[in-house]
Amino acid sequence: MPAAGPWTSEIPAAHISVGELMAFFGRKQIPAAADPSARDFAVVLHGVTKLYGVGAAAVKAVANVDLRVPNGEFLSIMGPSGCGKSTLLNLIAGLDDASSGRVVVAGYDLARLSDDARSDLRLQRIGFVFQGFNLFPSFTVEENVAWPLEFLGCRWYLARERAGTMLNQVGVTPGSWRRRPAELSGGEQQRVAIARALVTEPQLLLADEPTGNLDSHTGQAILDLLRRLNTERGVTIVMVTHNTFAATYGHRTIELRDGLITHETPSNRREPGSVRVLPLRGGGE
């Protein structure tokens, strides 16, 4: 397994940004949100509760959680199996609805968005790395990474070109691009999943146990990749893990028990401005 791929000099630059591509093909980018929290916070949860089921059989997967994730933070979420970590991440991604409380992402109150607007927000602003990779088995590696762009209206050949750039950046070499996911190692599949999550240039990356299915060496390479995304690109990261070593990659760790935040470490994040934010254009400097 090669080390995490280089971000910079060897990578062929993509010539045009996703925003420019979308404008070119007539797809409207979602406007900046009016909510003033958007300037400072990628995610704000106000008293968020999620119940599954009804009546006496209801399970409170997330219980009255308040959380603020500043732009540029790398946050780790820990806790035992079943404590509500995945539910919390799904609520932030708008993949699931809160039973009560408010979920505000990039300044948008998710409950106030139409289904279409929510899909647009997810496609354009949020990258999601699922616990089990969630790659399409019948698609090639390249197709798995390129489809979100095609969904956004990009021409296929441009989507493929950008997918290739992204795959290079996360260390998946061209020899693998025509393969199906089942022909790759777990580490490679996770890199492909990360490339897919990043291909639309999201400002927020949500990762559900991204190292959970990987050996420790490969897991560390993936963590290094996430750290570089955060420090070099300014991507806000919320990572769920049950591995204490993995959690140390975050600036701050919160712990969940039975849907409640029970513990939080102080943030060691440096002030904004000390982080150099590069445009996600293919890595040319």
Ligand X SMILES: Nc1ncnc2c1ncn2[C@@H]1O[C@H](COP(=O)(O)OP(=O)(O)O)[C@@H](O)[C@H]1O
Binding residues (CB under 6 A) for ligand X: these are 52, 59, 61, 79, 81-87
Q: How far apart are CA 4 and CA 57, in angstroms?
A: 46
Which residue, 21 or 103, is less far from ligand X as judged by CB?
103
Give the binding range for Mg ion (CB under 5 A) out of 10-18, 82-90, 177-185, 190-198: 82-90
Does residue 211 bind Mg ion (CB under 5 A)? no
Among 71, 76, 86, 190, binds Mg ion (CB under 5 A): 86
Give the binding range for Mg ion (CB under 5 A) out of 61-69, 85-93, 186-194, 245-253: 85-93
Q: How far apart are CA 259 and CA 84, in angstroms?
A: 5
184, 214 contact by CB (below 8 A): no
Minimum CB–partner distance for residue 87 and ligand X (Å): 3
Q: Residue 203 binds which entry of ligand X, Mg ion, none, with Cβ cut-offs from 5 to 8 Å by kind? A: none
Minimum CB–partner distance for residue 85 and Mg ion (Å): 5
Q: Residue 71 binds which entry of ligand X, Mg ion, none, with Cβ cut-offs from 5 to 8 Å by kind? A: none
Largest CA distance in the chain: 59
Minimum CB–partner distance for residue 52 and ligand X (Å): 3
Does residue 87 bind Mg ion (CB under 5 A)? no
Minimum CB–partner distance for residue 283 and ligand X (Å): 33
Spatial neighbors of 14 by CB under 8 A, at least 6 apart, are 161, 162, 165, 281, 282
Residue nearest Mg ion, Cβ-based: 86
Q: How far apart are CA 162 and CA 21, in angstroms?
A: 11
Which residue, 34 or 57, is less far from ligand X as judged by CB?
57
State how far the alpha carbon of 85 is from the alpha carbons of 129, 169, 184, in Å: 14, 28, 28
Q: Residue 162 binds which entry of Mg ion, ligand X, none, with Cβ cut-offs from 5 to 8 Å by kind? A: none
Indicate the Cα dihedral angle 89, 275, 248, 168, nearest 10°. Answer: 70
Closest CA to 205 of 257, 112, 280, 283: 280
User: In terms of DSSP bridges, do strands 59-70 and 41-52 run parallel, antiparallel, or are they unpaired?
Assistant: antiparallel
Q: Residue 81 binds which entry of ligand X, Mg ion, none, with Cβ cut-offs from 5 to 8 Å by kind? A: ligand X
Site residues, Mg ion (CB under 5 A): 86
